[in-house]
Amino acid sequence: MLSLLSVKVEGDPYLKDQTVSFNEGFNTISGVNGSGKTLLVHAIRFGLNGKSDDSFYTFSGRVTLRFHLPNRSEVEYSKAAGRMTRYWIDGKEVSSEQYAEGLEEIGITPIMIGVMVPGVGWGKMGTSTDKELSMFIEKTMQNGQKMKGECDILKKKIRISMGAAAPKGIQKPSKTTNELQKELAAAKKRRSNALNRRINTMSSNVDELYKMLNGNANQMAASFRPENPEEPYAGVEMVLDQGYGIMEPSNLSGGEMKIASIAINLAAVRVLQCPFVIYDNFDENFSRESCNSVGMAFRELVESGNLQIIAVCKQDAMRNQTPHTFEMTLPEDD
């Protein structure tokens, strides 16, 4: 299994050149407010070529991610941000393209990053709008954005064929409006069929994970249901039953919403076969009971050896779920 062994930050005025090490399995990161826990998560996302949630791209230092490969060897990927971003693999400077290709060679593809290191607000996924949820599911598909783009372009070409001005980058179509509408109908059908298959796969996974995260509560259920199966990209509803009937996600408590969000994200982790996942502000609003049930679920998930989980936690009840905890401290002033 591929796993993240450590993250090293150099040249950052706040983290003060420190290294954080991880074990395979379930890890937690803790520390007082201001110790740099969230910045560390951003550093990892930056090193993986993920999109920044904040101003981390102004960071002028260097981030080094050390990975343990399935063949038991190790490899380091380093990235430095400044006026010009620079990249290294095992100490050898490479181009941005070579760096991205190198990440893919070890099993980290661009489509995975937003799932492996979810951004700010991930904990509210359980109460996402139906449109937001359909967009999230479609982004987990290898050709999801390509099929969406194909439909969008055909819609623009139809408008042009009906007399609208051609936007920059799109030529006036040679086909008739009727021909283009037939092409669009075929493209929509391909997109809908592919998305419905992914919704079904994600739905079965989210149900299993939701039960597991709630302490193997078999009376509970979770599923995804498209508003319109003919056009599932228009909206997907998350249907929750906590054992006493269907509940609107908007009525969930903070802790219940976080558990639903974890189930959604982990379902995507599963279908994409991500090697690890990193959560910031993980146990916010958790009760002791939730800490226990989620901790038990995480230990069960990592026992297979196919997933590493790293979570930034505040509560002792959550940190006590694993012996692998890294305590971050306030950096000392120079």
Q: What is the pLDDT confidence band of residue 145, given thresholds at 50, 70 and 90?
A: very high
The full 3-state SS of the chain, as one line of letters, equals CCEEEEEEEECCCCCCCCEEECCCCEEEEEECCCCCHHHHHHHHHHHCCCCCCCCHHHCCCEEEEEEECCCCCEEEEEEECCCCCEEEECCEEECHHHHHHHHHHCCCCHHHHHHHCCCCCHHHHHHCCHHHHHHHHHHCCCCHHHHHHHHHHHHHHHHHHCCCCCCCCCCCCCCCHHHHHHHHHHHHHHHHHHHHHHHHHHHHHHHHHHHHHCCCCCCCEEEEEECCCCCHHHCEEEEEECCCCEECHHHCCHHHHHHHHHHHHHHHHHHHCCCEEEECCCCCCCCHHHHHHHHHHHHHHHHCCCCEEEEECCCHHHHCCCCCEEEECCCCCC
Tell me how far apart the alpha carbons of residues 309 and 197 are, in angstroms, rounded to a whole number.
Answer: 27
CA atoms 167, 168, 169, 175: torsion sign: positive
Spatial contact of 2 and 277, defined as CB atoms under 8 Å apart: no
Q: Identify the pLDDT of residue 144.
A: 93
Say if residue 52's pLDDT is above 80: no
Among 193-197, 284-288, 322-326, the range of highest mean pLDDT: 193-197
Mean per-residue pLDDT for 234-249? 88
Paired with 4 in beta bridges are 67
Residue 165: the pLDDT is 81
Q: Which of 25, 3, 4 is nearest to 300 (CA)?
A: 25
Which residues have C-beta within 8 Å of that of residue 238, sequence separation ≥ 6?
126, 128, 133, 206, 222, 223, 224, 249, 260, 264
**280: nearest Cα among 54, 12, 5, 10:** 54
Kindly report the CATH number that applies to the domain delimited by 1-108+275-334.
3.40.50.300
What whole-number distance in Å separates Cα of residue 221 and Cα of residue 162?
Answer: 48
Residue at 259: amino acid letter: I
Cα(131)–Cα(195) distance, integer angstroms = 13
Q: Cα separation of 27 and 310, whole Å?
A: 5
pLDDT, position 58 = 53
Pick from 221, 250, 225: nearest CA to 235: 225
Residues 269, 275: Cα–Cα separation, whole Å: 8
Q: At residue 57, does pLDDT exceed 60?
A: no
Mean pLDDT of all residues in the chain? 90
In angstroms and rounded to an integer, the radius of gyration of the C-alpha atoms of the chain is: 22
- % of the chain surpassing 90 pLDDT: 69
Give me the pLDDT at residue 301, please: 95
Q: What is the pLDDT of residues 301-320, one digit of tens each?
A: 999 878 999 999 999 999 99
Name 64's bridge partners.
8, 78
